[in-house]
Chain A
Amino acid sequence: MTIGIGGWGSRRKPMALVRALARSDVRDLTVVTYGGPDLGLLCAAGKVRKAYYGFVSLDSPPFYDPWFAAARTSGSIEVREMDEGMVKCGLEAAAARLPFLPIRAGLGSAVREFWGDELRTVDSPYPDADGRTETLVAMPALDLDVALVHLDLADVHGNAAYTGVDPYFDDLFCAAAQRRFLETDRVVETEELVESVEVQRLLLNRMNVDRVIHAPNGAHFTFAGEYRRDEAFQKHYAASAADPDSWTAFREHFLDVDEQTYQERVVEWTRERAEQKEAASV
Protein backbone atom coordinates (compact mmCIF):
# COMPACT_ATOMS: atom_id res chain seq x y z
CA MET A 1 0.00 0.00 0.00
CA THR A 2 1.22 3.49 -0.88
CA ILE A 3 0.40 6.13 1.73
CA GLY A 4 0.98 9.86 1.55
CA ILE A 5 1.50 11.71 4.83
CA GLY A 6 0.74 15.44 4.98
CA GLY A 7 2.42 18.20 6.96
CA TRP A 8 6.09 19.07 6.54
CA GLY A 9 9.11 17.92 8.58
CA SER A 10 8.05 18.33 12.20
CA ARG A 11 5.07 20.52 11.31
CA ARG A 12 1.37 19.56 11.50
CA LYS A 13 1.97 15.87 10.95
CA PRO A 14 -1.00 13.49 11.44
CA MET A 15 0.87 11.85 14.32
CA ALA A 16 -2.19 10.25 15.97
CA LEU A 17 -2.85 8.33 12.73
CA VAL A 18 0.86 7.52 12.40
CA ARG A 19 0.84 6.11 15.96
CA ALA A 20 -2.24 4.05 15.10
CA LEU A 21 -0.49 2.74 11.99
CA ALA A 22 2.63 1.89 14.00
CA ARG A 23 0.49 -0.16 16.44
CA SER A 24 -1.38 -1.96 13.64
CA ASP A 25 -0.36 -5.09 11.76
CA VAL A 26 -0.07 -3.17 8.46
CA ARG A 27 3.32 -3.82 6.84
CA ASP A 28 5.38 -3.23 3.67
CA LEU A 29 4.31 0.37 3.28
CA THR A 30 5.45 2.69 0.53
CA VAL A 31 5.45 6.18 2.07
CA VAL A 32 5.32 9.52 0.22
CA THR A 33 6.18 12.47 2.45
CA TYR A 34 7.99 15.67 3.29
CA GLY A 35 9.47 13.58 6.04
CA GLY A 36 9.79 14.18 9.76
CA PRO A 37 9.15 12.05 12.86
CA ASP A 38 6.18 10.48 11.01
CA LEU A 39 8.56 8.57 8.80
CA GLY A 40 10.85 7.97 11.80
CA LEU A 41 8.12 6.30 13.87
CA LEU A 42 7.04 4.11 10.96
CA CYS A 43 10.68 3.09 10.34
CA ALA A 44 11.06 2.31 14.07
CA ALA A 45 8.04 0.02 13.83
CA GLY A 46 9.49 -1.71 10.76
CA LYS A 47 6.54 -0.72 8.57
CA VAL A 48 8.37 0.93 5.68
CA ARG A 49 9.59 -0.89 2.59
CA LYS A 50 10.03 2.05 0.26
CA ALA A 51 10.05 5.83 0.75
CA TYR A 52 9.52 8.77 -1.62
CA TYR A 53 10.57 12.06 -0.04
CA GLY A 54 12.12 15.48 -0.65
CA PHE A 55 13.86 15.52 2.73
CA VAL A 56 13.61 14.11 6.23
CA SER A 57 14.06 16.59 9.08
CA LEU A 58 13.03 17.14 12.68
CA ASP A 59 13.36 20.92 12.01
CA SER A 60 15.20 21.46 15.32
CA PRO A 61 18.26 19.79 16.92
CA PRO A 62 19.30 17.00 16.36
CA PHE A 63 17.66 17.68 12.93
CA TYR A 64 18.31 14.24 11.43
CA ASP A 65 15.63 11.71 12.39
CA PRO A 66 17.40 8.80 14.15
CA TRP A 67 15.02 6.04 13.00
CA PHE A 68 15.01 7.11 9.38
CA ALA A 69 18.82 7.28 9.61
CA ALA A 70 18.93 3.76 11.10
CA ALA A 71 16.70 2.38 8.35
CA ARG A 72 18.91 4.00 5.73
CA THR A 73 22.30 3.00 7.13
CA SER A 74 21.10 -0.60 7.59
CA GLY A 75 19.84 -0.60 4.00
CA SER A 76 16.43 -1.83 5.15
CA ILE A 77 14.40 0.62 3.05
CA GLU A 78 14.57 1.43 -0.64
CA VAL A 79 14.37 5.14 -1.35
CA ARG A 80 13.30 7.38 -4.20
CA GLU A 81 14.82 10.56 -2.88
CA MET A 82 13.91 13.66 -4.90
CA ASP A 83 13.98 17.44 -4.92
CA GLU A 84 11.33 18.99 -2.65
CA GLY A 85 9.65 20.61 -5.65
CA MET A 86 9.36 17.22 -7.35
CA VAL A 87 7.11 15.95 -4.53
CA LYS A 88 4.67 18.81 -5.15
CA CYS A 89 4.89 18.21 -8.91
CA GLY A 90 4.20 14.46 -8.58
CA LEU A 91 1.18 15.08 -6.32
CA GLU A 92 -0.16 17.68 -8.76
CA ALA A 93 0.16 15.18 -11.61
CA ALA A 94 -1.77 12.59 -9.60
CA ALA A 95 -4.40 15.17 -8.59
CA ALA A 96 -4.98 16.01 -12.28
CA ARG A 97 -4.92 12.29 -13.30
CA LEU A 98 -1.89 12.94 -15.54
CA PRO A 99 0.91 10.37 -16.01
CA PHE A 100 3.63 12.99 -15.50
CA LEU A 101 4.41 16.68 -15.38
CA PRO A 102 7.65 18.22 -16.70
CA ILE A 103 10.00 19.90 -14.23
CA ARG A 104 13.58 21.21 -14.33
CA ALA A 105 14.45 20.11 -10.77
CA GLY A 106 16.36 16.85 -10.72
CA LEU A 107 18.38 17.35 -13.92
CA GLY A 108 22.12 16.87 -13.41
CA SER A 109 21.72 15.64 -9.83
CA ALA A 110 21.88 12.27 -8.05
CA VAL A 111 18.07 12.18 -8.05
CA ARG A 112 18.45 10.43 -11.41
CA GLU A 113 20.52 7.68 -9.74
CA PHE A 114 18.17 7.32 -6.77
CA TRP A 115 15.36 6.53 -9.23
CA GLY A 116 17.11 4.75 -12.09
CA ASP A 117 14.67 3.79 -14.86
CA GLU A 118 11.73 4.78 -12.71
CA LEU A 119 12.46 8.46 -13.55
CA ARG A 120 12.66 9.44 -17.19
CA THR A 121 12.98 12.65 -19.19
CA VAL A 122 10.65 14.21 -21.72
CA ASP A 123 11.56 16.35 -24.75
CA SER A 124 9.55 19.47 -25.46
CA PRO A 125 7.71 19.24 -28.81
CA TYR A 126 8.22 23.02 -29.03
CA PRO A 127 11.80 24.05 -29.83
CA ASP A 128 13.10 27.24 -28.21
CA ALA A 129 13.84 30.45 -30.17
CA ASP A 130 17.22 29.03 -31.26
CA GLY A 131 15.63 25.83 -32.52
CA ARG A 132 16.94 23.79 -29.60
CA THR A 133 14.95 21.14 -27.76
CA GLU A 134 14.57 21.40 -24.00
CA THR A 135 14.73 18.05 -22.20
CA LEU A 136 13.11 17.99 -18.76
CA VAL A 137 12.45 15.54 -15.97
CA ALA A 138 9.09 13.78 -16.53
CA MET A 139 7.98 13.63 -12.93
CA PRO A 140 5.64 10.63 -12.64
CA ALA A 141 2.31 11.01 -10.84
CA LEU A 142 2.61 10.13 -7.14
CA ASP A 143 -0.65 8.17 -7.03
CA LEU A 144 -1.58 7.30 -3.46
CA ASP A 145 -3.80 4.55 -2.08
CA VAL A 146 -4.25 6.48 1.16
CA ALA A 147 -3.59 10.02 2.39
CA LEU A 148 -3.27 10.92 6.08
CA VAL A 149 -3.45 14.62 7.01
CA HIS A 150 -3.97 16.74 10.13
CA LEU A 151 -5.91 20.00 10.03
CA ASP A 152 -6.73 22.21 12.99
CA LEU A 153 -10.47 22.51 12.49
CA ALA A 154 -13.11 20.45 10.63
CA ASP A 155 -16.74 19.47 10.46
CA VAL A 156 -17.90 15.85 10.43
CA HIS A 157 -18.35 15.91 6.65
CA GLY A 158 -14.71 16.62 5.82
CA ASN A 159 -14.74 20.37 5.33
CA ALA A 160 -11.56 21.51 7.05
CA ALA A 161 -9.31 24.50 7.68
CA TYR A 162 -5.76 25.25 8.75
CA THR A 163 -5.27 28.09 11.23
CA GLY A 164 -1.47 28.50 11.15
CA VAL A 165 0.69 30.31 8.61
CA ASP A 166 1.03 27.51 6.06
CA PRO A 167 -1.35 25.00 4.42
CA TYR A 168 1.66 22.84 3.47
CA PHE A 169 0.46 20.38 0.79
CA ASP A 170 -2.37 18.59 2.56
CA ASP A 171 -4.95 19.38 -0.15
CA LEU A 172 -2.62 17.86 -2.77
CA PHE A 173 -2.05 14.71 -0.70
CA CYS A 174 -5.82 14.25 -0.47
CA ALA A 175 -6.35 15.02 -4.16
CA ALA A 176 -3.72 12.42 -5.12
CA ALA A 177 -5.24 9.62 -2.99
CA GLN A 178 -8.02 7.06 -3.28
CA ARG A 179 -8.84 6.98 0.46
CA ARG A 180 -8.45 10.19 2.52
CA PHE A 181 -8.22 10.22 6.33
CA LEU A 182 -8.36 13.58 8.08
CA GLU A 183 -7.51 13.94 11.75
CA THR A 184 -8.41 17.20 13.43
CA ASP A 185 -7.96 18.91 16.78
CA ARG A 186 -11.50 20.25 16.83
CA VAL A 187 -14.71 19.01 15.22
CA VAL A 188 -17.29 21.78 14.94
CA GLU A 189 -20.56 22.44 13.13
CA THR A 190 -20.13 23.56 9.51
CA GLU A 191 -21.54 26.97 10.35
CA GLU A 192 -19.00 27.49 13.13
CA LEU A 193 -16.17 26.31 10.85
CA VAL A 194 -16.93 28.79 8.09
CA GLU A 195 -17.56 31.63 10.53
CA SER A 196 -14.35 31.14 12.48
CA VAL A 197 -11.84 31.32 9.58
CA GLU A 198 -11.40 33.32 6.38
CA VAL A 199 -12.66 31.33 3.38
CA GLN A 200 -9.12 31.02 1.97
CA ARG A 201 -8.30 28.78 4.96
CA LEU A 202 -10.91 26.17 3.99
CA LEU A 203 -8.33 23.86 2.43
CA LEU A 204 -10.43 20.68 2.16
CA ASN A 205 -14.02 20.13 1.10
CA ARG A 206 -16.22 17.05 1.33
CA MET A 207 -14.98 15.64 -2.00
CA ASN A 208 -11.43 15.42 -0.58
CA VAL A 209 -12.16 13.43 2.58
CA ASP A 210 -13.49 9.94 3.39
CA ARG A 211 -13.08 9.84 7.18
CA VAL A 212 -12.79 12.51 9.86
CA ILE A 213 -11.07 11.51 13.09
CA HIS A 214 -11.35 13.72 16.15
CA ALA A 215 -7.81 13.76 17.56
CA PRO A 216 -7.22 16.61 20.02
CA ASN A 217 -3.48 17.42 20.13
CA GLY A 218 -3.18 14.75 17.43
CA ALA A 219 -0.24 16.43 15.68
CA HIS A 220 1.84 16.16 18.89
CA PHE A 221 4.89 16.35 19.12
CA THR A 222 4.97 18.32 15.87
CA PHE A 223 3.24 21.70 15.89
CA ALA A 224 -0.17 22.57 14.53
CA GLY A 225 -2.04 25.84 14.09
CA GLU A 226 -3.01 26.18 17.73
CA TYR A 227 -0.05 24.63 19.58
CA ARG A 228 3.70 24.68 19.32
CA ARG A 229 6.10 21.86 18.68
CA ASP A 230 6.86 19.97 21.92
CA GLU A 231 10.62 20.45 21.59
CA ALA A 232 11.43 18.71 24.87
CA PHE A 233 9.41 15.64 23.94
CA GLN A 234 10.84 15.54 20.42
CA LYS A 235 14.34 15.60 21.95
CA HIS A 236 13.26 12.77 24.27
CA TYR A 237 12.03 10.78 21.23
CA ALA A 238 15.31 11.32 19.38
CA ALA A 239 17.47 10.53 22.43
CA SER A 240 15.45 7.39 23.18
CA ALA A 241 16.45 5.96 19.79
CA ALA A 242 20.11 5.87 20.90
CA ASP A 243 20.02 2.37 22.41
CA PRO A 244 17.64 -0.61 22.48
CA ASP A 245 16.80 -0.35 26.18
CA SER A 246 15.83 3.30 26.12
CA TRP A 247 13.79 2.74 22.96
CA THR A 248 11.96 -0.23 24.48
CA ALA A 249 11.09 1.96 27.45
CA PHE A 250 9.87 4.77 25.17
CA ARG A 251 7.88 2.40 22.99
CA GLU A 252 6.19 0.57 25.85
CA HIS A 253 5.30 3.79 27.64
CA PHE A 254 4.20 5.96 24.72
CA LEU A 255 3.57 3.83 21.63
CA ASP A 256 2.16 0.45 22.69
CA VAL A 257 -0.85 2.29 24.12
CA ASP A 258 -3.99 3.87 22.71
CA GLU A 259 -4.08 7.54 21.73
CA GLN A 260 -5.81 8.73 24.89
CA THR A 261 -3.23 7.01 27.08
CA TYR A 262 -0.45 8.50 24.95
CA GLN A 263 -1.84 11.98 25.49
CA GLU A 264 -2.23 11.40 29.26
CA ARG A 265 1.32 10.10 29.53
CA VAL A 266 2.71 13.06 27.62
CA VAL A 267 1.00 15.41 30.09
CA GLU A 268 2.37 13.35 32.99
CA TRP A 269 5.89 13.29 31.46
CA THR A 270 5.84 17.05 30.98
CA ARG A 271 4.72 17.64 34.58
CA GLU A 272 7.35 15.27 36.01
CA ARG A 273 10.04 16.92 33.93
CA ALA A 274 9.01 20.37 35.17
CA GLU A 275 9.05 19.11 38.77
CA GLN A 276 12.52 17.60 38.33
CA LYS A 277 13.78 20.85 36.86
CA GLU A 278 12.33 22.81 39.74
CA ALA A 279 13.85 20.43 42.30
CA ALA A 280 17.23 20.68 40.59
CA SER A 281 17.16 24.47 40.65
CA VAL A 282 16.39 24.71 44.41
Chain B
Amino acid sequence: MSDVPRAETCVIACAEIFSGAGEIMASPMATTPLIGARLARLTTEPDLLITDGEALIFADTPAVGKSAPIEGWMPFRKVFDVVASGRRHVVMGANQIDRYGNQNLSAFGPLQHPKRQMFGVRGAPGNTINHPTSYWVAKHSTRVFTESVDIVSGVGYDNVDPDNPAFRFLHIHRVVTNLGVFDFGGPDHTFRALSLHPGVTADEVAENTGFEVVGLADAGETRAPTEEELSLIRETIDPTGLREKEVRPVDAAGVSR
Protein backbone atom coordinates (compact mmCIF):
# COMPACT_ATOMS: atom_id res chain seq x y z
CA MET B 1 0.00 0.00 0.00
CA SER B 2 1.10 3.48 -0.82
CA ASP B 3 0.94 6.06 1.93
CA VAL B 4 -0.08 8.71 -0.58
CA PRO B 5 -3.81 9.44 -0.26
CA ARG B 6 -5.79 8.35 -3.32
CA ALA B 7 -6.96 11.93 -3.98
CA GLU B 8 -3.36 13.07 -4.42
CA THR B 9 -2.61 10.27 -6.88
CA CYS B 10 -5.67 11.44 -8.84
CA VAL B 11 -4.35 15.02 -8.81
CA ILE B 12 -1.02 13.83 -10.23
CA ALA B 13 -2.83 11.90 -12.96
CA CYS B 14 -4.91 15.00 -13.77
CA ALA B 15 -1.78 17.18 -13.89
CA GLU B 16 -0.24 14.77 -16.40
CA ILE B 17 -3.25 15.24 -18.70
CA PHE B 18 -1.63 18.57 -19.56
CA SER B 19 1.93 17.28 -20.14
CA GLY B 20 3.21 18.90 -23.34
CA ALA B 21 0.04 20.99 -23.76
CA GLY B 22 1.99 24.23 -24.20
CA GLU B 23 0.33 27.64 -24.53
CA ILE B 24 -3.35 26.67 -24.55
CA MET B 25 -6.33 27.19 -22.26
CA ALA B 26 -6.71 24.49 -19.59
CA SER B 27 -10.40 24.16 -18.73
CA PRO B 28 -10.93 21.75 -15.82
CA MET B 29 -14.60 21.38 -14.81
CA ALA B 30 -14.21 19.79 -11.34
CA THR B 31 -12.05 20.18 -8.25
CA THR B 32 -9.52 17.36 -8.81
CA PRO B 33 -8.69 18.27 -12.44
CA LEU B 34 -8.61 21.94 -11.42
CA ILE B 35 -5.95 21.17 -8.81
CA GLY B 36 -4.19 19.04 -11.44
CA ALA B 37 -4.15 21.83 -14.04
CA ARG B 38 -2.78 24.32 -11.51
CA LEU B 39 -0.16 21.81 -10.38
CA ALA B 40 0.93 21.34 -14.01
CA ARG B 41 1.15 25.12 -14.39
CA LEU B 42 3.32 25.44 -11.27
CA THR B 43 5.67 22.65 -12.38
CA THR B 44 6.17 21.63 -16.02
CA GLU B 45 3.51 23.63 -17.96
CA PRO B 46 3.95 27.31 -17.01
CA ASP B 47 2.47 28.59 -20.29
CA LEU B 48 -1.03 27.16 -19.68
CA LEU B 49 -3.83 29.74 -19.52
CA ILE B 50 -6.22 29.28 -16.60
CA THR B 51 -9.33 31.24 -15.67
CA ASP B 52 -11.47 31.89 -12.61
CA GLY B 53 -14.23 29.77 -14.18
CA GLU B 54 -16.18 32.91 -14.98
CA ALA B 55 -14.55 35.56 -17.19
CA LEU B 56 -11.05 36.41 -15.93
CA ILE B 57 -7.70 34.90 -16.97
CA PHE B 58 -5.35 34.47 -14.00
CA ALA B 59 -1.76 35.76 -14.25
CA ASP B 60 -0.79 33.83 -11.13
CA THR B 61 -1.85 30.36 -9.96
CA PRO B 62 -4.05 30.73 -6.89
CA ALA B 63 -5.37 28.16 -4.43
CA VAL B 64 -8.73 26.54 -5.15
CA GLY B 65 -11.52 29.08 -4.61
CA LYS B 66 -9.07 31.99 -4.24
CA SER B 67 -8.54 34.92 -6.53
CA ALA B 68 -5.28 36.14 -8.08
CA PRO B 69 -3.93 38.96 -10.22
CA ILE B 70 -5.32 38.68 -13.74
CA GLU B 71 -3.77 38.86 -17.19
CA GLY B 72 -6.81 38.99 -19.43
CA TRP B 73 -10.53 38.72 -20.18
CA MET B 74 -12.38 35.57 -21.22
CA PRO B 75 -16.15 36.07 -21.20
CA PHE B 76 -18.28 33.17 -22.46
CA ARG B 77 -18.55 34.55 -26.00
CA LYS B 78 -14.76 34.50 -26.29
CA VAL B 79 -14.59 30.97 -24.88
CA PHE B 80 -16.49 29.81 -27.98
CA ASP B 81 -13.85 31.51 -30.14
CA VAL B 82 -11.16 29.61 -28.22
CA VAL B 83 -13.07 26.33 -28.65
CA ALA B 84 -13.27 26.84 -32.42
CA SER B 85 -9.56 27.77 -32.52
CA GLY B 86 -8.62 24.44 -30.98
CA ARG B 87 -6.27 26.06 -28.42
CA ARG B 88 -7.87 24.42 -25.43
CA HIS B 89 -7.92 21.18 -23.45
CA VAL B 90 -11.09 20.61 -21.43
CA VAL B 91 -11.57 18.08 -18.64
CA MET B 92 -15.28 17.39 -18.35
CA GLY B 93 -17.27 15.17 -16.03
CA ALA B 94 -19.52 12.43 -17.34
CA ASN B 95 -22.70 10.67 -16.28
CA GLN B 96 -21.87 7.93 -18.80
CA ILE B 97 -18.86 6.97 -20.97
CA ASP B 98 -18.74 4.03 -23.38
CA ARG B 99 -15.80 2.02 -24.73
CA TYR B 100 -15.34 4.35 -27.74
CA GLY B 101 -15.39 7.53 -25.65
CA ASN B 102 -18.96 8.64 -26.25
CA GLN B 103 -19.99 10.67 -23.20
CA ASN B 104 -23.32 11.76 -21.74
CA LEU B 105 -24.04 14.63 -19.38
CA SER B 106 -27.41 15.56 -20.89
CA ALA B 107 -30.16 13.25 -19.63
CA PHE B 108 -31.06 9.58 -19.16
CA GLY B 109 -33.70 7.93 -21.32
CA PRO B 110 -35.39 8.94 -24.60
CA LEU B 111 -34.38 12.30 -26.11
CA GLN B 112 -37.82 13.92 -26.02
CA HIS B 113 -39.06 12.17 -22.88
CA PRO B 114 -36.11 11.47 -20.58
CA LYS B 115 -36.35 9.57 -17.30
CA ARG B 116 -33.92 11.92 -15.62
CA GLN B 117 -32.88 15.39 -16.75
CA MET B 118 -29.35 16.73 -16.25
CA PHE B 119 -27.72 19.77 -17.97
CA GLY B 120 -28.37 19.10 -21.63
CA VAL B 121 -25.36 18.67 -23.90
CA ARG B 122 -23.68 21.94 -22.80
CA GLY B 123 -20.41 22.52 -24.68
CA ALA B 124 -19.62 18.82 -25.01
CA PRO B 125 -20.31 18.45 -28.77
CA GLY B 126 -18.23 21.51 -29.63
CA ASN B 127 -15.43 20.64 -27.21
CA THR B 128 -14.95 17.09 -28.46
CA ILE B 129 -15.08 17.96 -32.17
CA ASN B 130 -12.66 20.91 -31.82
CA HIS B 131 -9.87 20.25 -29.33
CA PRO B 132 -8.34 17.78 -26.88
CA THR B 133 -10.85 16.54 -24.34
CA SER B 134 -10.29 14.44 -21.24
CA TYR B 135 -12.70 13.15 -18.62
CA TRP B 136 -12.62 12.98 -14.84
CA VAL B 137 -14.74 10.38 -13.04
CA ALA B 138 -14.53 10.52 -9.24
CA LYS B 139 -16.41 7.25 -8.74
CA HIS B 140 -15.52 4.63 -11.34
CA SER B 141 -18.56 2.34 -11.67
CA THR B 142 -20.53 0.27 -14.17
CA ARG B 143 -23.21 2.99 -14.05
CA VAL B 144 -20.73 5.44 -15.60
CA PHE B 145 -18.69 3.07 -17.78
CA THR B 146 -21.56 1.55 -19.68
CA GLU B 147 -22.05 -0.46 -22.87
CA SER B 148 -23.77 2.46 -24.61
CA VAL B 149 -24.62 5.98 -23.49
CA ASP B 150 -28.22 7.23 -23.58
CA ILE B 151 -27.42 10.57 -25.25
CA VAL B 152 -24.14 11.32 -27.05
CA SER B 153 -23.08 14.73 -25.71
CA GLY B 154 -19.33 14.21 -26.12
CA VAL B 155 -18.45 12.56 -29.43
CA GLY B 156 -16.72 9.15 -29.32
CA TYR B 157 -14.42 7.57 -31.89
CA ASP B 158 -17.07 5.31 -33.47
CA ASN B 159 -19.08 8.43 -34.39
CA VAL B 160 -16.20 9.87 -36.42
CA ASP B 161 -16.80 9.98 -40.18
CA PRO B 162 -13.32 9.22 -41.59
CA ASP B 163 -14.31 10.65 -44.99
CA ASN B 164 -15.17 14.04 -43.50
CA PRO B 165 -12.16 16.22 -42.57
CA ALA B 166 -14.40 18.19 -40.19
CA PHE B 167 -13.74 15.39 -37.67
CA ARG B 168 -9.94 15.71 -37.85
CA PHE B 169 -9.52 17.56 -34.55
CA LEU B 170 -11.32 15.00 -32.36
CA HIS B 171 -8.93 13.73 -29.68
CA ILE B 172 -9.98 12.16 -26.41
CA HIS B 173 -6.74 12.27 -24.49
CA ARG B 174 -7.28 10.66 -21.09
CA VAL B 175 -9.88 9.39 -18.69
CA VAL B 176 -8.76 9.73 -15.08
CA THR B 177 -10.84 8.04 -12.39
CA ASN B 178 -10.46 7.22 -8.70
CA LEU B 179 -9.12 3.84 -9.86
CA GLY B 180 -6.68 4.63 -12.64
CA VAL B 181 -5.62 6.37 -15.84
CA PHE B 182 -7.07 5.34 -19.19
CA ASP B 183 -7.13 6.40 -22.83
CA PHE B 184 -8.72 5.23 -26.08
CA GLY B 185 -5.56 3.61 -27.45
CA GLY B 186 -7.03 0.10 -27.67
CA PRO B 187 -7.94 -1.54 -31.01
CA ASP B 188 -10.37 0.70 -32.98
CA HIS B 189 -9.89 3.44 -30.35
CA THR B 190 -11.28 1.44 -27.45
CA PHE B 191 -10.90 2.16 -23.74
CA ARG B 192 -7.47 1.11 -22.52
CA ALA B 193 -5.83 1.04 -19.09
CA LEU B 194 -2.58 3.03 -18.86
CA SER B 195 -2.00 2.73 -15.11
CA LEU B 196 -3.88 1.77 -11.98
CA HIS B 197 -3.52 3.79 -8.79
CA PRO B 198 -1.46 2.18 -6.00
CA GLY B 199 -3.64 -0.38 -4.19
CA VAL B 200 -6.12 -0.80 -7.08
CA THR B 201 -6.35 -4.28 -8.66
CA ALA B 202 -7.24 -5.21 -12.23
CA ASP B 203 -10.25 -7.12 -10.85
CA GLU B 204 -11.53 -4.01 -9.12
CA VAL B 205 -11.42 -2.07 -12.39
CA ALA B 206 -13.00 -4.93 -14.36
CA GLU B 207 -15.83 -5.28 -11.82
CA ASN B 208 -16.58 -1.59 -12.03
CA THR B 209 -16.50 -1.23 -15.83
CA GLY B 210 -19.45 -2.28 -18.00
CA PHE B 211 -17.21 -3.45 -20.88
CA GLU B 212 -13.82 -5.06 -21.39
CA VAL B 213 -10.85 -2.81 -20.59
CA VAL B 214 -7.94 -3.26 -23.00
CA GLY B 215 -4.51 -3.78 -21.44
CA LEU B 216 -5.84 -4.15 -17.92
CA ALA B 217 -3.57 -7.08 -16.93
CA ASP B 218 -0.45 -5.22 -18.13
CA ALA B 219 -1.19 -1.76 -16.76
CA GLY B 220 1.47 -0.42 -14.43
CA GLU B 221 1.05 1.71 -11.36
CA THR B 222 0.27 5.44 -11.44
CA ARG B 223 3.43 7.23 -10.39
CA ALA B 224 3.89 8.68 -6.94
CA PRO B 225 4.02 12.44 -6.50
CA THR B 226 7.36 14.12 -5.92
CA GLU B 227 8.03 15.97 -2.67
CA GLU B 228 7.65 19.25 -4.57
CA GLU B 229 4.28 18.18 -5.98
CA LEU B 230 3.03 17.06 -2.57
CA SER B 231 3.91 20.34 -0.97
CA LEU B 232 2.34 22.32 -3.84
CA ILE B 233 -0.88 20.31 -3.53
CA ARG B 234 -1.06 20.38 0.28
CA GLU B 235 0.25 23.84 1.04
CA THR B 236 -0.26 25.99 -2.05
CA ILE B 237 -3.14 24.79 -4.25
CA ASP B 238 -5.50 22.92 -1.92
CA PRO B 239 -4.57 23.67 1.70
CA THR B 240 -8.13 22.96 2.92
CA GLY B 241 -8.24 19.47 1.39
CA LEU B 242 -11.20 19.95 -0.99
CA ARG B 243 -9.76 17.12 -3.13
CA GLU B 244 -10.79 14.61 -0.44
CA LYS B 245 -14.42 15.63 -0.82
CA GLU B 246 -14.26 14.18 -4.36
CA VAL B 247 -12.02 11.20 -3.61
CA ARG B 248 -12.20 9.77 -0.09
CA PRO B 249 -9.13 8.19 1.50
CA VAL B 250 -8.94 4.41 1.07
CA ASP B 251 -8.01 2.13 3.99
CA ALA B 252 -5.78 -0.98 3.88
CA ALA B 253 -8.72 -3.19 2.94
CA GLY B 254 -9.37 -1.01 -0.11
CA VAL B 255 -12.57 0.41 1.33
CA SER B 256 -13.39 4.10 1.12
CA ARG B 257 -13.71 5.57 4.57
Contact = CB atoms under 8 A, between A and B. Distances in A.
Contact of A73 (B76, B116, B126): B116
Interface stretch (A108-116, A178-186, A191-199): A108-116
B165 A132 contact: yes
Interface residues of B, number: 48
Contacts of A155: none
Given A72-B114, A85-B84, A104-B129, A56 B120 contact: yes
Interface string B147-168: 0000111111001110111110
B14 interface: no
B76 A54 contact: no
Given A54-B122, A64-B118, A83-B121, A107 B167 contact: yes
Contact of A81 (B73, B121, B160, B163): B121
Nearest to B113: A75
A167 interface: yes
A54 B77 CA distance: 13
Interface string A27-63: 0000000010000000000000000011111000001
Nearest to B108: A73
B56 interface: yes
A168 interface: yes
B111 A85 contact: no
Interface string A66-87: 0011001111001101111110
Interface in B45-87: 54-56, 73, 75-77, 80, 83-84
B182 to A, nearest CB: 21
Contacts of A54: 120-123
A229 interface: no
A166 interface: yes
B177 interface: no
Most chain A beta-carbon contacts within 10 A, residue among B54, B56, B114, B126: B126
Interface string B163-178: 1111101100000000
Contacts of B170: 108
Contact of B54 (A105, A128, A166): A166
A178 to B, nearest CB: 23
Interface in B102-148: 106-107, 109, 111-126, 128-130
B85 to A, nearest CB: 11
A132 B161 CA distance: 13
A182 to B, nearest CB: 19
Contact of B120 (A78, A81, A103, A168): A81
B155 A107 contact: yes
A53 B121 CA distance: 9
A258 interface: no
A230 to B, nearest CB: 18
Contact of B77 (A35, A64, A69, A169): A169
A85 B73 CA distance: 18
A64 B54 CA distance: 19
Contacts of A78: 112
Contacts of B130: 104-105
A248 interface: no
Contacts of A279: none
A23 interface: no
Contacts of A111: 121, 125
Contacts of A86: 125-126
Interface string A91-128: 00000000000011111111101100000000000001
Interface of B: 54-56, 73, 75-77, 80, 83-84, 106-107, 109, 111-126, 128-130, 151-156, 159-161, 163-167, 169-170
Interface of A: 8, 35, 53-57, 63-64, 68-69, 72-75, 78-79, 81-86, 88, 103-111, 113-114, 128, 130, 132-136, 165-169
Q: What are the 5 tightest A-B residue pairs by CB atom distance, in nearest-first order?
A: A105-B126, A75-B113, A69-B117, A108-B159, A109-B125
Given A54-B123, A168-B75, A169-B76, 6 more contacts: A69-B117, A73-B116, A81-B121, A84-B80, A111-B121, A166-B54
11 contacts: A35-B120, A53-B120, A56-B117, A79-B112, A81-B121, A103-B84, A109-B125, A109-B129, A111-B121, A166-B54, A166-B75
